[in-house]
Amino acid sequence: MTFSLEQFRLDGKVAVVTGAGGRGNSIGRAYASGLAAAGAQVVVADLNEEGARAVSKEITEAGGQAISVGVDITDAASVKAMAGAAKEAFGGVDILVNNAGLMAELKSERAVDISLDEWNRIMNVNVTGALNCAQAIVPLMRERGGGKIVNQTSGGAFPAISIYGISKLALVGLTTTLARQLGPEKINVNAIAPGNTASDAGKLLTPDDSPFIKFLEASVAMRVRGTPDELVGTLLLLCSQAGDWITGQVFNVDGGWVIRP
């Protein structure tokens, strides 16, 4: 088929974005708004129900279609209810963006010292949460003859030198495994690994004068910090027909922090 820009459109598609009701200027909010601008009907899902409502309202006021759903991605029953709400509102699901995660709220603990409770809390959200969502939503994708899953990992996974990095590297493993297993069912599974992104959470974690920003300034090829909106183009590629032949990949969107062949 001859290429046309229409292949990036998402009219008639339904997208679920987790972690989309986050702190003010969040990556999930940019993802939900970008998908809606491309024509998708969007389920704005978050533990923070009030935040999710605000983002959904913002999308509908801009002329898009969205609903908000409160969800705890670590709770399989809650995730099932989220999938049910998506089906009831929009008839099914074509796109799942596993963006919810713990990051700014994490203390930088050493692996030899971290309590198993804290370890399990992090892995439950950042890894098992994405699996829960895939388990609830893949059956709906099958009903539509295929779908797209995008997992939000991090430049911090390459290499993993923190507990957070370990969780995001595990999410890469979930991405490649799901890609291989779901490919025959026309479900593409990829990951985006943002660099240091100026969401409210990102700025809280690493203010401009933090040692980590200084470290990045010495090693990043282009600009150290990007904005949530600068991640949206990659997301649209991976969620649309334009990305139909891409699966099992990690896209580092980070100004050249993680450079690899």
Ligand X SMILES: NC(=O)c1ccc[n+]([C@@H]2O[C@H](COP(=O)([O-])OP(=O)(O)OC[C@H]3O[C@@H](n4cnc5c(N)ncnc54)[C@H](O)[C@@H]3O)[C@@H](O)[C@H]2O)c1
Binding stretches for ligand X (CB under 6 A) = 18-19, 21-23, 26-28, 46-48, 51, 71-74, 99-104, 125, 129, 152, 154, 194, 196-197, 199, 201-202
CA distances from 60 to 36, 65, 91, 169, 257 (A): 9, 5, 18, 35, 36
Using the minimum distance from each CB to ligand X, give the nearer residue, 104 or 246. Answer: 104
- Sequence-distant (6+) residues with CB within 8 A of 186 are 145, 146, 147
Closer by beta carbon to ligand X, 51 or else 64? 51
Residue 102 and residue 137 in contact, taking contact as beta carbons nearer than 8 Å: no
**Residues 55, 20: contact at Cβ < 8 Å?**
yes
Query: What's the closest the beta carbon of residue 103 comes to ligand X, in angstroms?
Result: 4
Q: Pick the closest to residue 68 from 97, 41, 95 (CA basis).
A: 41
Catalytic residue selected from 164, 168, 240, 251? 164
Q: Closer to ligand X by CB, 46 or 94: give it.
A: 46
Residue with tokens 């891409």: 246
Give the tokens for residue 102: 């713990």
Q: How far apart are CA 145 and CA 228, in angstroms?
A: 31
* Shortest CB 72 distance to ligand X, Å: 5
Given a contact cutoff of 8 angstroms between Cβ atoms, the answer to whether 64 and 106 are in contact is: no
Minimal distance, residue 100 CB to ligand X, in Å: 4
Nearest residue (CB) to ligand X, 14 versus 55: 55
Nearer to ligand X, 102 or 141 (CB): 102
Nearer to ligand X, 7 or 162 (CB): 162
- What's the closest the beta carbon of residue 19 comes to ligand X, in angstroms? 3
SS3 228: helix
Residue the block writes with tokens 């990951």: 191
Measure the CA–CA gap between 143 and 150, rounded to whole angstroms. Answer: 19
Closest CA relative to residue 188, chosen from 146, 127, 152: 146
**Least Å from the CB of residue 211 to ligand X:** 15
Cα separation, 160 vs 170, in Å, equals 10
Q: Does 164 qualify as catalytic in the annotation? A: yes
CB of 119 to ligand X, least distance (A): 16
Q: d(Cα 258, Cα 99) in Å, to the nearest integer?
A: 20
Q: Looking at the annotation, which residues are catalytic?
A: 164
